[in-house]
Amino acid sequence: MRAAVVNAFGGPEVVEVVEAEVPEPGARQVRIKVAAAALNPVDAGVRAGVFGGAGKRIGLGWDVAGTVDAVGVGSAWTVGDQVVALDYGMVKPLGTHAEYVVVDTDAAAKAPVTVDAVHAATLPLNALTAVQALDRLELTPGQSLLVTGAAGAVGGYAVQLAAHRGIPVTGLAREADGELVRSLGATPAVDAAIGAGGFDAVLDAAVLGEPALAWVRDGGAYIGVIPQAQPGSVRGVRTGAVEVSADGRRLAELVRLVDEGVLTTRVAETFALDEATKAHARLAEGGVRGRLVLVP
Residue 255 located in a structural domain: no
Residue type, 59: G
Range of the domain at 97: 2-123+265-295
Please name which of 55, 79, 49, 57 lies closest in space to residue 66, comparing C-alpha atoms. Answer: 79
| CATH number, position 188 | 3.40.50.720
What pLDDT score was predicted for residue 102?
98
pTM: 0.95
Let me know if residue 259 belongs to a domain: no
User: Are residues 206 and 195 part of one domain?
Assistant: yes
How many structural domains comprise the chain? 2
Judge if 109 and 134 occupy the same domain: no
Cα gap 168→55, rounded to integer Å: 48
For 211, the 3-state DSSP assignment is helix
In this structure, the answer to whether residues 229 and 150 fall within a common structural domain is: yes
89 lies in the same domain as 164: no
- What is the DSSP code string of 51-109? T--TTS-EE---EEEEEEEEE-TT-S--TT-EEEEE---SS-S--SSBSEEEEEGGGEE
The pLDDT profile of the chain, 296 residues, written as one tens digit per residue, is 999 999 999 999 999 999 999 999 999 999 999 999 999 999 999 999 999 999 999 999 999 999 999 999 999 899 999 999 999 998 999 999 999 999 999 999 999 999 999 999 999 999 999 999 999 999 999 899 999 999 999 999 999 999 999 999 999 999 999 999 999 999 998 876 687 888 999 999 999 999 999 999 999 999 999 988 899 999 999 999 999 999 999 999 999 999 999 999 999 999 999 999 999 999 999 888 899 999 99
| Same domain for 138 and 168 | yes
User: What pLDDT does residue 192 have?
Assistant: 60
Percent helix, percent strand, percent coil in the chain, to nearest 5: 30, 30, 40
Q: Any idea what the CATH number is for the domain that residue 58 is in? A: 3.90.180.10
